[in-house]
Structures are given as structure tokens and as C-alpha cells.
Structure 1
Amino acid sequence: MKNLLFLLSFLFVAQLFAQHSSTVTEDFNSDGTEDTLRCSYEIGSNFGGADCELTDGKTKKKFTLTNYGCFCAIKKRVSVNPELREKENEHFFYNLKKDVLPKFRSTPDQSLLWIINSSLNSQKLKEHEYFDLTFNPKTAWRQEEPEFPSTYYIQMGARTLSKIIPEEKTTSVKPESSDQRDFLIYYGDTHFSSESGKTKEFIPVAKNKSYEILKTAQGVIVKKDNTYKWLFVTDMDINASPQKLRWSSIEEVVLHDNSIIIRQSLAPDPEYNIYVIDIETGLGGRLKIDFDYLLEKGIEIPDLKPEERFSIIDGMIVIGKKRHKMKFPLTEIKQELEILIKGN
């Protein structure tokens, strides 16, 4: 019986955590001496990725590249040792990239561009009455049909990347020179279901005489006539995210005149975020929700019905039930957004 229990425990852990490695011995740089490429691939419950180390057989120098990180991150920085970019190491660099990076793209698609611009133009607020975060992606209407996000990497200046991904979440080479370039991986496939047989699609969620709102598992798009733009993308460094991006974060989207209101899941945490976004300017704010107020009244978030978690009643965003409700007046919220827009 003990052996059976041990086996069942082992199988359960193995499902949550898996690791394998590979070793390739080859003269990668054609200098007459064999080099060694070792890679480990780790798939855990919340973290994982590839770690590769290539050892120069002649000089014994070691070069590394890794994409290891949290499955809650829709983007990751891959830092490059400047020495790896030198001409004599180009074959090492090529083989490390082949094992660590997805396909290359020279420019970001519009969903990643939303993330980049919002990262550089977001602000946390402490004293504001309604918002604790604002972001301004400075998006423009595009003339073509929206492109499906995919997984790829781009090359960017290291200093810019340090502004997009907080320093404590990266192992970038220090100090960063003005011409140093690193990689940004974008896991755009997380916008769509990973279930076998599922095709990529934008899901229509709302429409009025001016706009049509579409969503993915991690983002929101608006179409107007023959144009479109992204209004929101879940990104842990900008606006938070679920623990795993195989879970959809966009739970509800409401179109209200020239604005949208989004309810964002933070699973498995029962708390959630609500955003109000001006469609034309793209500027958005996250509502300051006091969930402790509900707990003080004996109200557990999982016990709330969908309409009690978020609804619009008489021009108010309402959260709670019975006598214990938090109310956010939409007219005032939109006016505050306009003030913030003018300030940007």
C-alpha cells in the first residue's frame, strides 16, 4: 500500500514538474576542436523554460542563453552577453538562439506594440479618487484587418527593455552600453486556446452604431468601419495577470458609449481588476476597488454572482450585493479620464 501511495504521489508530481536535457558535441565554429552544447528544458506548474550553455572546446569559455521565467508572463527578456555577438562567436550565438528562441520578427505586431507603449507610458496613482493605475498606449487606427498575435521574438535596445521589464525580473548584463541589444520574446499564442483543434479567432462581445468590440483570452480590440486598434492586453508588468496564461484573463467586456469596461481575472486569486478605457484616445485606468470592505461585511468574493461582481446600474459601476455595494459613477470616471488625457 505504501508503495502504491508513493507511486501515485510520484506520478502526480511528475505531471506538475518535468525536466529533460540534451547534450550535443560538435565543432560549431570550425576551429578543429569539438565544442559542447548542453540544454535543459523545464516545464513546471508555474515556471519553466530552456537554459542552454555552449562551451568553446579550445578556449573553455562558456556562453549561455535562457528564456526561463513565469508562465504568467506574456513577454520575456533574453539578455545577451556582448561577447557572444563578436564575429568569432557567431556560430555559438546562432546555435544558442536556435534552442532558446522562437521565430524572429523584425517589427512587433500591434498587440505587442500596445504592451511596449503602455509599459513606457503607465503610471501608478496613490491619491486619485477612482484610479490606482493609468496607461496610455498612444495607439492609432489601422486600415487593415487585425492580425492574429503569434509567438516570436524581436531585438531591442537593452536600455529600452529595462524600462519595459522591471530590473528585478531580469538578469541583464550590467552595465548596459548605449548600443547593447537584447531580445524580447512575445508569447502571442496565449491569446488563443491551446486546446487541440481550436483555430485562432477574435470573439465578438459587443457592438453599437460606432464600434465593434472583439476579444481574445488576453486582449481586447475595437473595430470602426474598416479600421481597428488594440485597447488592452493583459501583461503582468503593466496591469497584472492570472498565475498561468493558459487561463483566460478577459472575463467580461462592456461597451458603454465611447468607452469600454473590462473585468480581468487574476486566477486563482478570487480578486479581479476592472478597467475603464476611452476608445478614441486609448487611455485607460484601473479602478481602485476596496475588496477588504466586502470582507468586513462578511462577503466572500467567490460567493458573489457574476452580476454582483460587476454590473452597470443607473450609470454606476456596481460591485457587491444587497446593502453592501461599492459604486463608481461612470460620468465622473469618464470626466477624470478626460482630465488625465489632457495631462498626457
Structure 2
Amino acid sequence: MITSNQQYHPFFFFLFWVLPAAALAQSNLQVSDFNGDGHPDTLRWEYSGGSGFGGRQIELAPGNGDEPIVLNTIGSFGQMLRLIEIPGRLQVPSARGFREAMASVLVAGEEMREQPDPSLRWLLSAFRGAPRRVSGRQFIWVQPSSLQWEPLPVILPEAYALQLEAPVFAEVGSQMANHPVEGNDEASGWLIYYGHNHTLDRFEPRLADKAFGLRLLATRHGAWVETGERYAWVFVADGQLFPAAQKLRWTSLHEARLLSEELVLLHTYAPIAGEHRIYVFDLNTARIGLLLMADGHSYPCSIRQLDGRLQVDAGGASFSWTLAGLLSELRE
């Protein structure tokens, strides 16, 4: 037992106070003439965060005495994407060196990429697709995306950033809860993709289903189909357009299965709220719909398929659809 009168060795405070604080705030420093004006500039970046959020505070102090330029990437651990608007001061040609220096430290361990990987490409196609068609019959909504086949093998992404120009930056941001440039279609910026969460903690993709000449593989937060020597992503739970687990170190994609040679079922689960969502993806049109259930947020939630029908038991109630009916509504 520890009482208020006990004396602690100094190492006790180092172990229980100093080390945890250092883990939450890690600073880095780089001094260089980034813009080539003959004055050494100072780039600082610091990581900070808690159990549900984190990110970097980045500051570049020009060597000529101008005001520092500050960026902030701090956000929720429950979201795969983060948008950072490029400040106006970094848009001018003379600031290119500053812009590249700050972009290089947006994400640990990865430099800027020119193009998205296939998983992010699918997600961006959904963000930039036509507006969701509200249904209300078998689906709550139907969302367009694109199906882009790639040659095997699959290479899962790490965390990285890429630059989005106008109007793509605004199109993606308009689908997010905290749109950084609402009303400004001319804005450009960086998109950070925390794709490493697909395989966080050595989680390996699993073979979720195999039928109809297809293989369906799943990560913590996404899935792709394989046929022959090619593959295509069909889903990513990003925490914005497609809600994910409250923390991405948890698994969002609870179940994935092939309903037919044309339909893929994707069942996500958010542990804290107990929220179940069941999506159906059409491999021909690349449209994905969120199934309508009277109570889709109750646990347990079980899924069965028999004689061309899909049945879901949730919250003490049963819901049933024909596969033909689902396919027809997705293709309207």
C-alpha cells in the first residue's frame, strides 16, 4: 500500500511521469535554406495525442524573419483520411521549397506520393461519385463508386500523403463532417491516408470467402475480390463516408461474403456503440448500398443466406430480401 507519507525514488517520477509525457509529445527539428534565399530556415514538427486522437503540429520559421507558417494534422483515430488545406503563403511559386519541406513531414516514414494506391483510389471514387441516391425500400441509400482491376499481387498501403488540386480537394472535403474549405471550390491541399491501419499490429488479410470463381479477401477495414491474376478493391471503412470502428486499431469489417457472382456483402461493426451496418456491393456497376433494417444497431446481428434470399436477424427482429430484388434496386 502507498500512503501519502511515503518517499519516492526520483526514478519513480521518471518512469511514471516523464516517459509517458515524452511518448505523447515528440519533437523534431530541421534547419536548412529551404527556399534558397540565403537565410537558414527552421522546420519543427511535434507529435501529440491521446487515446482517441493524435497528429502533428508543424511549424516553419523563415530565416528572413517573416511570420512562421503553421500546419496541424491532429484528428480522430477513427478516421482513415485527413485533409489539410495548403495556406495561401505556400501557394506562390517562390514558396515551393517551403511547401515541399512541410509536405515531407506530414506523415511519419513516408514521403509524398504522386498517385493513390488502389484502396484509396476506390475510396476516392466513392467520395467523388454522384450523390447518394436515397432509397428507403431495401436500401437506405445507394452510393456510386468504381471498380478498377489491377494485376496481382496486392500491396497493402502504409500511411502516406498526396496533393489534391482544385476542384478534387473540395469534392472530397464536401463529404466530410469537418470540411476545411467549405464554400471554396478553388482550394487545394494535402490528403493524408492512414492506410497502415489495414494491417495494424501484424493483422494479415484473411480469405473471407471463395465461390463463383472469385476470392474475397478482407483486412481490418477493407476488402477486395480476386479472379485469375487480377484484383479490385470493393470497400474501405474510412470513418467518414463509410463509418468505421471508433479506433482504427480495432477491426471495422466484421464479416464479408460472396452472395453471388455479382453481389458482395460487407458487414461492419462499431464496438462501443454496438452499431451494425450491412452493405451490398454490385460487381458489375460498382454501386454499393446500405441495407435498410428497422433496428440495425442492436447486438447480436446474424446473417443467413438460403434459396436466393438474404436474412438478417437483429434486435429480436428478422429482415429478408431476395438477391434478385437487391440487384435490381442497385441497378436502377
TM-score range, shorter chain: 0.7 to 0.9
Look up the equivalent residue of 1:70 and give its one-letter code. S
Q: CA deviation at 1:267?
A: 2.4
For 1:168 and 1:318, locate their aligned partners in 2 and report how far apart those are by CA, in whole Å: 30
What residue in structure 1 maps to residue 210 of structure 2?
Answer: 207
Q: Residue 216 of structure 1 is aligned with which of 208, 215, 219?
A: 219
- Change in CA separation of 1:159 and 1:205 when aligned onto 2, cut-off 3 Å: same
1:243 aligned to 2:246? yes
1:161, distance to aligned residue in structure 2 (A):
1.8
The answer as to whether partners of 1:206 and 1:255 remain within 8 angstroms in 2 is yes
Query: In structure 1, what is the Cα distance between the partners aligned to 2:3 and 2:134?
Result: 55
RMSD between superposed Cα atoms in Å = 3.3
In structure 1, distance between residues paired with 2:296 and 2:205 = 35
Aligned to 2:201: 194
The structure-2 alpha-carbon separation of the partners of 1:168 and 1:261, relative to structure 1 and needing over 3 Å to count, comes to closer
In structure 2, the CA distance between the partners of 1:278 and 1:24, relative to structure 1 (3 Å rule), is closer
Aligned position for 2:260: 257
Instruction: Report the 3-state secondary structure (helix = DSSP H, G, I; strand = E; otherwise coil) of the residue aligned with 2:105.
Output: helix
Deviations 1:159-209 (A, max 9, x none): 3122212365243497453xx5321111111111324xx6xx432111113
TM-score, length of structure 1 as denominator length: 0.80
Equivalence map 1:122-201=2 (5 Å): 123-124=131-132, 128-166=136-174, 168-172=177-181, 175-177=184-186, 180-195=187-202, 201=204
Q: Work out which of the residue numbers 272, 284, 289 in structure 2 matches 1:280.
A: 284
1:154 Cα deviation from its structure 2 partner: 1.7
Local SS of the residue matching 1:149: coil
Alignment check: 8 A CA contact 2:170 2:182 kept: no
Structure 2 residues not aligned, in runs of 5+: 7-12
* Alpha-carbon distance between aligned partners in 2 of 1:288 and 1:173, rounded to the nearest angstrom: 30
How many residue pairs get aligned? The number is 319
Map of 2:303 onto structure 1: 311
User: Which amino acid in structure 1 is aligned with residue 55 of structure 2?
Assistant: G
Q: 1:237 to 1:158 in 2, by over 3 A?
A: farther
Preserved CA contact (<8 Å) 1:50 1:67: yes
Name which of 33, 48, 57 aligns with 1:51.
57
- TM-superposition CA deviations, 1:131-170 (whole Å, max 9, x none): 1132221213334433322322222114312221236524
- Is the Cα contact below 8 Å between 2:274 and 2:297 reproduced in 1? no
With the length of structure 2 as denominator, give the TM-score of the two structures.
0.83
**% same residue:** 23
1:268 counterpart = 2:249: no
- Relative distance call for 1:29 and 1:276 in structure 2 (3 A) is closer
Match of 1:116 in 2: 124
Secondary structure of 1:107's counterpart equals coil
Q: Pick one of 312, 329, 335 that aligns with 2:321.
A: 329
Query: Aligned with 2:247: secondary structure?
Result: coil
Write the distance in 1 (CA, Å) between the matches of 2:36 and 2:259: 63
Whole-angstrom distance in 1 between the partners of 2:296 and 2:160: 40
Distance 1:127 1:175 in 2: 30
Distance across 1 between alignment mates of 2:101 and 2:226 = 42
